[in-house]
Amino acid sequence: MTATSGGGFSLMSEALGLAGMNEVPLVVVNAQRGGPSTGLPTRTEQSDLLFVLNASQGEFPRLPLAPGTIEEYFECGWHSFNLAERYQTPVVVLSDQLLASSLRTIEVDALDFDRVVIDRGKLLGDEEREALTEPYKRHEFVQDGISPRAVPGHPKAIYATASDEHDEFGHISEDMDNRVKMMQKRMKKLETARQDIEPPTRYGPEGAPLILVGWGSTYGVLREVVNRLDGQARLVHFRDLWPFPVEAAADALQGGKVVVVENNYTGQFKRLLQSETCIEVDHVISRYDGRSFSPEDVQAGLKEVQ
């Protein structure tokens, strides 16, 4: 696991591709700032979403999470490690300067320690490694795309994997059939991972005519706006971003005007939402001056919604 800001993530994104190719569990926290380059290093923004979904060369699974509260930060802490080891792929926790630097007092029982579990995924135990009678296939072709993993150190589970495309043993291969099988194996993890994707959080009265949509650190301010509008708005807030929860999103965004609120210029989440669900977004409220939204900002933006 490593933590950085958007600039550091950009600088080292080639390592994300290496982890994707070698199927190495990796957790990266990206506390977003305003860019490009050094940009606004002491300010906040939500402008790395589409970059994170496509960071590094080529196609491979990435599982981004965007906690919106301190409690969700805690949950994403252990959950991100479980996802990374379960699917043997990079997991990116998308935070931002606002949430990373916020101070808040919470009650200890607000953190559900009983839910904390450690899931190492398909990990070969000592008996399974001892029972191996053939050379260990670290990247074995399996139906769900997740090959059994062995912690280094056992003499029967020694392997070497290059950053190039490789066969089941990790040996470099540019064979066409092998390439197709390996790509399908790795990408299959996305479909397998759908079972662990949480639906968006809903807050406010069902049937309210305005649907405020957010992700990450906008949760608190949007919840406040819903309270202020007293029955006229509801909140749909996304934490698990990929693979995108298409059916849950379609169900949550019915029967109202959809307004996306996010800290970037181009409406990145709006673009992701529309491309994955074909749901028409009625309005976007954006802020990209390095500052976070206030309830007054959102309410002023809602005046433009017809």
Q: Given strand 2-5, what is the order of strands in its sheet?
A: 2-5, 26-32, 90-96, 63-65
Q: How far is CA 234 from CA 72, 209, 245, 263, in A?
A: 20, 8, 19, 19
18 and 55 in a single domain? The answer is yes
Question: Final residue of a domain: which of 75, 91, 115?
Answer: 115
- Whether residue 121 lies inside any domain: the answer is no
Distances (CA, A) of 68 to 46, 131, 216, 284: 12, 46, 4, 19
Range of the domain at 62: 2-115
pLDDT score of 219: 97
Convert the pLDDT of each residue in 233-254 to its tens digit: 999 999 999 999 999 999 999 9
Q: What confidence score (pLDDT) does residue 194 get?
A: 96
**Average pLDDT for residues 262-276, to the nearest whole number?**
98
Do 104 and 7 share a structural domain?
A: yes
**Residue 306 pLDDT > 80, yes or no?**
no
> Is 120 inside any structural domain?
no
Q: For residue 68, tell me if it sits in a domain.
A: yes
What per-residue confidence (pLDDT) applies to 108?
A: 87
Domain count, the chain: 3
Burial of 182: CB neighbours in 10 Å, binned 0-12, 13-18, 19+: buried
Residue finishing a domain among 162, 195, 228: 195
Condensed to tens digits (0 to 9), the pLDDT of residues 92-117 reads 999 999 999 988 898 888 898 999 99
What pLDDT is stored for residue 153 in this prediction?
Answer: 84
What's the number of CA atoms in the CB half-sphere (13 Å) around residue 82? Answer: 14
d(CA 272, CA 275): 5
pLDDT exceeds 90 at position 151? no
Band the pLDDT of 170: cuts 50, 70, 90. very high
Q: In this predicted structure, what is the pLDDT of residue 270? A: 98
Give pTM, 2 decimals: 0.94
Strand order in the sheet with 201-203: 201-203, 233-238, 210-215, 257-262, 283-286
Same domain, 109 and 133: no
pLDDT band for position 227 (cuts 50, 70, 90) = very high
pLDDT tens-digit profile of 51-97? 999 999 999 999 999 999 999 999 999 999 999 999 999 999 999 99
Same domain flag for 111 and 134: no
Note whether 176 and 258 are same-domain residues.
no
Which residue from 150, 268, 290 is spatially nearest to 215, judged by alpha carbons? 268
Q: Please state, in angstroms and rounded to a whole number, the distance separating the CA atoms of residues 199 and 240.
A: 7
Shared domain check, 239 and 176: no
pLDDT (tens digit, 9 = 90+) per residue, 18-55? Answer: 999 999 999 999 999 999 999 999 999 999 999 999 99
Residue pLDDT, tens place only, 184-203: 999 999 999 999 999 999 99
Whether 167 and 95 share a structural domain: no
Last residue of a domain, one of 195, 218, 251: 195
**CB contact at 8 A, 175 and 165:** no
The whole-chain average pLDDT of the chain stands at 95
CATH of the domain at 35: 3.40.50.970
Q: Is 111 found in the same domain as 6?
A: yes
Confidence band, pLDDT 50/70/90 cuts, at residue 283: very high
Determine, yes or no, domain membership for 71. yes
Do 208 and 154 lie in one domain? The reply is no
- Is the per-residue pLDDT at 296 higher than 70? yes
Q: What is the CATH number of the domain that holds 248?
A: 3.40.50.920
